[in-house]
Amino acid sequence: MTIFTPFMAAMNFLTRLAPARIHDDSTIAASVKYFPLVGMVLGGLLTLPFFFGLLGGYPWIQAWLLAGASLWATRGLHWDGWADIFDAWGSGARGERFWEVLKDSRIGAFGVMALIMGLGGQILLLHEALAVRAYGAIAFAFVLGRGLCVGLAYCSRNLARGTGLGQLTLQGATLPSLIIALGLTLFAGLGLRPLHTLAPALMLGLLGLVELHTLAKKSGGLNGDFLGAAIVWGELAALLGWLLATRSNLIPLL
């Protein structure tokens, strides 16, 4: 198996940016290590039009379009998991009832609130980054989200529940895969944004990973919804970490 095949499987799994193709289970599991690389491609493609001046001077419109383009490119898959997790968590249910709420196709009040806060927060943070042309910070958000997904999968691989792509992701989250994914994430972070903004993003991302892992342990399992929520949290953490670092009175905006 070449590197190209599992990478394209990761592109198929996480985005609609690659030609549709059916991959076997072993290829999908092998693709996990390349999730952050998919984030690099996705982040680069989404920010490129604005880098070249599309709607320059209108950062609110740019932020709205970028968020919408991200939803289109990823099919909104991760946000679905985000809403499902908050519905189940907000219900206060435990045991099998938690999973009944999680798998309910109908969205509840907590899911709606999570989408409003999450998407609203993403647009606000994107506006701040686009206003100062911090395209590297934006691109890195897509990398950290997918890197955090691999981290959560590795930490929770003994909590697999159900079948499907989520379970295959957990199977593929081996220690070598984690090391490669972590290396790609740090490489992108060091190359795409000022060094002093990386630590806050990683700390916020780690906080979300711990919370999701703890919830999975309490609930008796982890599925693809948890992994989707990790991606969303990683994207928000990267942008919020950048903002916290660059808006400090002690650190100039770079």
Evaluate the CA torsion angle 138, 43, 82, 153 in order and state its sign.
Answer: negative
d(CA 232, CA 143): 11
**What's the distance, Cα to Cα, between the start and end of the chain in Å?**
42
pLDDT averaged over 10-residue windows placed end to end, the chain, 254 residues: 84 90 87 96 97 95 98 95 96 91 93 97 98 96 97 94 82 95 95 88 97 95 95 98 79 42
Cα three-residue angle 59-62-65, rounded to 5 degrees: 155
Q: What are the structure tokens assigned to 73, written together?
A: 């490119």
pLDDT confidence of residue 25: 85
Q: Give 183's contacts (C-beta < 8 A, 6+ positions apart).
A: none
- Local structure of residue 160 (DSSP, 8 states): B
pLDDT confidence of residue 195: 84
Residue-range domain boundaries for the chain: 34-246
d(CA 168, CA 254): 40
CA–CA distances in Å: residue 77 to residues 48, 72, 84: 23, 10, 11
What single string gives the DSSP state of each residue in 221-254?
Answer: -B-HHHHHHHHHHHHHHHHHHHHHHHT-TTS---
Task: Assess contact for 119 and 70: CB atoms under 8 A.
Answer: no
pLDDT confidence of residue 193: 83
CA–CA distances in Å: residue 213 to residues 57, 149, 210, 226: 41, 11, 5, 9
d(CA 11, CA 143): 13
Q: What are the structure tokens assigned to 217, written together?
A: 């342990």
